[in-house]
Structure 1
Amino acid sequence: MLEVDREQMLAYRVAAHGLHRETTDVASLAVFGLGLQSTQRDTAAVSIAARLNGTVTEESLGEDPRFVLAWTHRGAPHFHRAAELAEVTAALVPLDEADAMARMQWQRKQVEAAGMGAREGLFAAARAIRQVVDKPMTKGAVSTAVTKIVPGGLSYFCRGCDTVHILEQVMRLAAIHGGARLEPGAFPATLAPVAGRGRLRTKPDVAAATSVVEEYLRLHGPATASEAAGFVGTTATKAKEMWPADLAEVRFGGRRAFVPVDALGLLENPPEPDVVRLLPPWDPFLQSRDRATLVPDKARQKEVWKILGNPGALLVEGELAGTWRTKGSGRKRLDFTVSPFWTLPPPARKAAEEEAERVAVARGFADLRVSWG
């Protein structure tokens, strides 16, 4: 059995994520196998800038018919290849009631108190969204209309809005099953019908769900069922029911972990991770559930992954070597503050400043300034 160390694993992930920047075709980027999260403004474009030998802005990504933005994994907004959206939707049908309830995550207790099963509530909301969203509509308008249709247990009183809303996580998880996507770049968040949306599918598709786990292991492996479950938003028990067949078992840190068999060669002999990149908050590389592998120091982990307002991360030769933030001055200049965890050699600092230029272009700024914290 192959024994891997941390440096080997990080080198593998840098290569698996396409961070060596070897392609000019945005649609071929490996990270679209799971979807590219777009939680904060321009994060998807900046993630692409770290991987693409070329330039893509958030606006051009949103206008590209090859991609669609939707609430998918864990109810978070992701860009997916449009041709793969039906399979993604199938993969998001819970396997059973326990899986459906686990996916409710932070609103699980409210769903449990709703007086119905999680699957029943999910698909009741999906039918309501399918009925309501027949044109672009703001999230607030959709929520108002859907709340009037769904069973009362799926709603709650929102003090901030002084009104009753459908549960947020239920709406997010149900939207894709209701044939609704998100309008890229729209503020406030706006839903619209998926082009050519088919019928509502409620039957679990184990093969589709398994493909998500396999892709997680390909990008974030070697990994465990518990870590894959964290990405999916379910339990380790359910992740094992989605477990792929063609996996290679390796040992890392005294425990068993897995990668797809066809990725074993890259894991055995990954290229040197000799790159410097500025990764945005929620970049796919940062989505690995084994944060201690990425950042062994617990205090540093809290600097990279915050409860609110994550910074970007500075990647230097496979290591997360610091954080960065930006502040825009109108649409003219983007000011960067880069805060390394240790003293970087001049070539790494110069490379980081060059990466800042790519980030500024991706975000549509003509000028930039870099300060080192």
Structure 2
Amino acid sequence: MDVTRAQAIAFRIDAQGLHRRSIDGAAALLELGVQHHQSSVAVALAARLPDGPPDDGELAWSHRGAPHRHRRSDLAAWARRLRPLSEPDAMARLIWTAEQSDAFPALAAIDRTAEVLAAAVTSPMTKGEVSTAVSRELPRALQRDCPSCGVWHVFDQLLRLAALPAGVALDGGRTLRALPTPDGWSRPTGPGTVSDVAELVTAAVRIFGPATTADLAAWIGTSAGALASAVEATGLVAVRVEGRRAWVATDDVDRLVDPPSPPELRLLPPFDPMLSARDRALLVPDTERRRALWPALGHPGAVLAGTEVVGTWRPSASGKKLTLTVSGDVPRPLLDDEAERVAAARGLRLAAVTVS
């Protein structure tokens, strides 16, 4: 089945709850996880929820080792779903070279670091304290030389990917602490199962679909080849978007064919789920606009009007006041109301909105 770009993006907007009709869209996002960056989670949920965000949430290093807010009750399941399926899969997720894998296999490195982490984090600790404690117990093959500190540190991505299997979460994004693990939960070890990783793929497709295998692999942080067996096990339906073969859940096909009309305007924070999918050229066809939205450093937020990203926005806080600077061809009548939502989500009062 051929799907137009407009259909694909309108489906994604609806799947992510940006119509702001109920809590269902935000609940689906929290099931997959919303990336944390400063106030991004609060602003992302404010763009989708009629009222305030739900209280039930836990920050953890999960997808790609980045901090995400998840439902607390789901974390044990994510510890299983995020397991690499093989040594090449683990190498891709760790950005591990063949030489490193020969010295210490990537999958075994994650398991060994998780074992040390679980023993070390018995009370809230800063990341630096955790790194120091863990590095003392790990072999040199799992550490890097840090000239600025004059010591050897555990590889940062290794620490991040080992934290959730160790039952360690982030407290406010700066402190690490042990999770109260549910009865019967034990630290996962060894390669993941195809069925568990297929659950990850299906959850991602429901939020980002229609999505190609390559885009899903890039979002997960692995290779398309390593993910292929899990994609095949999902029972997803293949469609074609802009000439590319992509996947969608079977029960989402009807909504993809005839998605609801998108809302007129939404302000999305940096790292919002709408901006996190790897098919950036589909969401923003214009090259210059893509560069403005995804620079190397200092990502702005996006102004979404219908199915199009029509501009960017940046916040500036002074005391308890917030000013938004908006760039692009933005429909002003709706902008102030959305800006008020951004300010409220950040616990601030809107002072001004400047449009250039």
What TM-score range do you get, normalising by the shorter chain?
over 0.9
Map of 1:68-217 to 2, 5 A cutoff? 68-105=58-95, 108-109=96-97, 112=100, 115-184=103-172, 189-196=174-181, 198-203=185-190, 204-217=192-205
Q: Against the structure 1 CA distance between its residues 369 and 114, is the aligned structure 2 distance closer, same or farther, given a 3 Å change threshold?
A: farther
Deviation of 1:29 after TM superposition, in Å, equals: 2.4
Cα deviation, 1:153-189, whole Å, max 9, x if unaligned, reads 11112233333211100000011111100002x5xx2
Cα deviation, 1:98-120, whole Å, max 9, x if unaligned, reads 11001013xx2498278110011
Deviation of 1:9 after TM superposition, in Å, equals: 1.0
Deviation of 1:53 after TM superposition, in Å, equals: 0.4
Q: Which residue of the partner structure matches residue 312 of structure 2?
A: 323
Q: Retained in 2: the 8 A contact 1:111–1:154? A: no
Map of 1:215-254 to 2, 5 A cutoff? 215-243=203-231, 244-254=233-243
Q: Against the structure 1 CA distance between its residues 301 and 53, is the aligned structure 2 distance closer, same or farther, given a 3 Å change threshold?
A: same
What's the Cα RMSD here?
A: 1.7
Q: How many angstroms apart in 2 are the aligned matches of 1:284 and 1:111?
A: 35
Counterpart code for 2:180: A
Query: Percent same amino acid at aligned positions?
Result: 41
Counterpart code for 2:34: L
Q: How many angstroms apart in 1 are the aligned matches of 2:71 and 2:115?
A: 24
Q: Which residue of the partner structure matches residue 17 of structure 1?
A: 16
Map of 1:52-67 to 2, 5 A cutoff? 52-56=49-53, 64=55, 66-67=56-57
TM normalised by structure 2 equals 0.94
Listed as ranges, the gaps of 5+ residues in structure 1 are none
Q: Against the structure 1 CA distance between its residues 167 and 349, is the aligned structure 2 distance closer, same or farther, given a 3 Å change threshold?
A: same
Q: How many angstroms apart in 1 are the aligned matches of 2:28 and 2:62?
A: 18
Q: How many angstroms apart in 2 are the aligned matches of 1:169 and 1:45?
A: 25
Q: Retained in 2: the 8 A contact 1:21–1:50? A: yes
Cα deviation, 1:253-303, whole Å, max 9, x if unaligned, reads 223211000100110110111331110010001011111000111121111
Q: Against the structure 1 CA distance between its residues 71 and 322, is the aligned structure 2 distance closer, same or farther, given a 3 Å change threshold?
A: same
Q: Retained in 1: the 8 A contact 2:212–2:246? A: yes
Q: Retained in 1: the 8 A contact 2:269–2:301? A: yes
Q: How many angstroms apart in 2 are the aligned matches of 1:94 and 1:115?
A: 19
Deviation of 1:222 after TM superposition, in Å, equals: 1.3
Q: Against the structure 1 CA distance between its residues 175 and 367, is the aligned structure 2 distance closer, same or farther, given a 3 Å change threshold?
A: same
Bigger mean CA offset, 114-123 vs 124-133:
114-123
Q: How many angstroms apart in 1 are the aligned matches of 2:22 and 2:206?
A: 18
Q: How many angstroms apart in 1 are the aligned matches of 2:234 and 2:29?
A: 22
Structure 1 stretches of 4+ with a deviation exceeding 4 A read none
Q: Choose from 274, 278, 289 the match for 1:300.
A: 289
Q: How many angstroms apart in 2 are the aligned matches of 1:146 and 1:134?
A: 12
What is the total number of aligned residue pairs between the two structures? Answer: 352
Q: How many angstroms apart in 2 are the aligned matches of 1:349 and 1:153?
A: 56
Q: How many angstroms apart in 1 are the aligned matches of 2:316 and 2:234?
A: 47
Q: How many angstroms apart in 2 are the aligned matches of 1:208 and 1:7?
A: 32
Q: Choose from 247, 250, 266 the match for 2:255.
A: 266
Counterpart code for 1:172: R
Q: How many angstroms apart in 2 are the aligned matches of 1:145 and 1:245?
A: 40
